[in-house]
Structure formats: structure tokens, C-alpha cells
Structure 1
Amino acid sequence: SMLDLVLERRKGLPILLSTVYVEVARRAGIAVAGVGLPGHFVVAHFGQTPPLLFDPFGGGILLEPSDPLPLRPSGPHETVLRMLNNLVGSYRRRADLTRAIRAAELRLELPVGEDAARTTFEAELRSLRARLN
């Protein structure tokens, strides 16, 4: 989940590839945004209805929206929060508690809209720290 490695290797997790895709498009004057889907992260162009969905992880293929739920652009904080959630989970599964704690701490530095989410993040950080000791 390191953006520098994604740029170097030209492959990586969907959320990181989508972040690169969005930034390159922005610099080219093309309005696209990252969109968090359940279990996946893609890029959308909201200039028409329904929005055009692209999957950078799938080589940039155009996706057909299968879910009637409205799509919403993911802002920078939401995207970074999702990346940090991925890192906490990944490090936790690998029992790399030091890195899981660092990612969990960074997550609390972001503005989180809901008090319940912040409470959950704080509890998870306490749990990780307790496992380290």
C-alpha cells in the first residue's frame, strides 16, 4: 500500500491505482473521482447519468454499474481513511502490531465525520496497543 512502489512497479491495490488515475486525469484536465464500492475502489466520471466507471486495477476497463445505489465521489480524506483501514487490517492479519498501531494512529489524525467511527477507531487502537504489551 505504498504509493511510491505503485508508481515504480505500475501495479498495486485498486485504491492506489485509482488514486494515480485520478491525479493523472486531473493534471490532464479530465474531471474524475475515486469511488469506494464494497470491496473495491474505482474511478468515475460524473459528467453523465449514470456516471462512467473505470477500473484501473482491471486495466482501465469500463464497468457497467450493477447496483442501483447512487455513486458518490470519495474525497481525499475518505480515500486516505480507506487506505489506512486497509493497512490496519493487513498489518493486523500479519501480526505486525507496530505498523498496525502506526496506521491506526494516523487514522485518528484525519477528520472523521461520525463520533461512532472515532470511538471505534480509538477502541481498535487501544486493543492493538494492549496486544503489543
Structure 2
Amino acid sequence: MDAVQRFVRLVSAPEPPLDEAALLIAAGADPSLDPGRWLHELDRLAAGVDSLPRLLRRLFLEEGFRGNASNYYDPRNSLLPHVLTRRTGIPISLAVVCIEVGRRAGIPLEGVGMPGHFLVRVPGTDQHLDVFDGGRRLDLAGCEARFRTATGAGPRIRFGPHLLARASTREILSRMLENLRGVYRAGGGPARREWVLRMRLALRADEAALVELGEVLGEQGRWGEGARLIDSWLTGRARVDPPTRDRLVLASRTLRAHLN
């Protein structure tokens, strides 16, 4: 099976293994990827770690993991093997490293999908970590400052716990794929966008992603395949609201028009 098929099978579980799923995302970009090598690297990083302070010291002082502020939109920042090799990433990919090394060391951590800036948290506490900033600890006021800086939100936008919800594994994976979707849309070619969109749709039905996948297939001269994909999605759903159905039918007809 290719990486997309393996990813689809893995994420059929309600809470798939984060490390394996993140590596399958990377395998979409590099089909020759050996996941075992990188699972062993996560094991190595966890060896001898017995507390949260020791974990933070290992990752951010001894190993030198850091946020890639100078080239934030480099796709390698979202691909786990590159993050482990280069010791640089964006907030969500560095969070995956921190969470998975912590899990191996018996230190539970969870992702926090704050708008604009992904964080890590010790479950059941208000102790948040900014892994993009060397694992800096943030209280609620610190989280709010990060939120307003990242989003540009003014004082009229209320900040509170509703913006600091735990991110499930599926939500983390969706956010990683959305980052890659944006990067490859800006420059990467339709073949790269195709595997990203197929993985994205395996996590959640999304009309916009479905139409975009059809368009990406059309860009590769596969108009019939794109139309059949949309038709199959519509056939497999008993309830689709009329406006959505109309938009998808139009997208399918537009693709088929290229075959005439």
C-alpha cells in the first residue's frame, strides 16, 4: 500500500498513534521513508528523561530544537523526519516531538489548538509550553499575549479557556495537513497537493477539500477521475444539504466538460 492508503487505514481508529500517523504524512512526500528509523530516534530522545524539566532540557538545550522563524513556510517544517534531522520546525511539528518523547518517558502531555499558535499542556493544569520558543512556560496571561500577537486580535476579542481546548490526535493531524496544503498551494505542484488532500479527506469530510482535490486531478489531466471522485462522495452520503450538493454537482460537470 502507498502512504495514503496506509494513512487512511491508520486513522480509521478514533485516536490513532500520533507518531506513526505523522510519519505517514512524511511518507506522502517521500515514499522511500523508513518509519522505523524515526521511531527509534524518538526512543533515543526519551532515554533517561524522568521529569518535565529534564524533557525540556533534553529537547531544547541539549538537542537544540527550535522554531524556524526565518523560513516558517518551508514544507520540511511540517515533515517529522526533517524536523528531527534539522532540529527545526513550526509549533505543531515541534509539539508532536515533545508529546511523543514525553509519552515514551512517561510524561503525559497534550496538544492545545489555540488559534494562531499551537501549544503543549500538562493535562489537567494551566501549565502551557511554547515549544516554538524553547519550551517556554506560559500562564494564561502569557497564552493570551501569544494569541493576540499571532492573530492580531484586539481587546474586543474575548480570550479564555474556550480558545485553549485540547487537540485530539485527529485534529493535530488535520492541522499539520492544512499547513502543508497551504504551503503546496503556494508552490509545490498538483501531485503534492493530491496526497495531502486525500489524507485530509480521510480525517474529515470537507466540501472545499473535495472540490480542490477534483481540481488538482484535473490539473494533471485526470478530469474523469476527479468527476468520479465527487460523484462517489455524493452517492455515499444519504444527506447532503441542497446548496452543497449543487456546488459539488457543478464541480463534477465542470471536470467532465474537459472530456468532450
Matched, 1:101 2:101: no
Aligned structure 1 segments of 4 or more residues deviating by more than 2 angstroms:
127-133
Equivalent residue for 1:22, pick from 82, 99, 102: 99
Equivalent residue for 1:74, pick from 151, 159, 167: 167
Contact 1:6 1:17 in 2 (8 A): yes
Aligned length: 126
- Counterpart of 1:123, as a letter, is V
Contact 2:120 2:130 in 1 (8 A): yes
Q: Which ranges of structure 1 fall in alignment gaps of 5 or more residues? A: none
- Counterpart of 1:52, as a letter, is Q
**Counterparts of 2:88 and 2:132 in 1: how far apart (Å)?**
8
Equivalent residue for 2:211, pick from 119, 123, 128: 123
- Counterpart of 1:118, as a letter, is D
Please, what TM-score do these two structures have when normalized by structure 2?
A: 0.45
Q: 1:65 corresponds to which residue?
A: 143
Provide, for residues 59-114 of structure 1, a one-character-per-residue CA deviation record: whole Å limited to 9, x for no partner. 1001223121422211111111111111111001014221011100111122x2xx
Contact 2:190 2:220 in 1 (8 A): yes
**Counterparts of 1:101 and 1:121 in 2: how far apart (Å)?**
10
Report the more deviating stretch, 72-81 or 62-71: 62-71
Q: 1:45 corresponds to which residue?
A: 122
Q: 2:113 corresponds to which residue?
A: 36
Identity in percent: 39
Q: CA deviation at 1:132?
A: 3.7
Matched, 1:83 2:179: no
- Counterpart of 2:90, as a letter, is L
The structure with more radius of gyration: 2
Provide, for residues 11-32 of structure 1, a one-character-per-residue CA deviation record: whole Å limited to 9, x for no partner. 1121110000011111222221
RMSD, aligned CA: 1.6
Contact 2:112 2:120 in 1 (8 A): yes
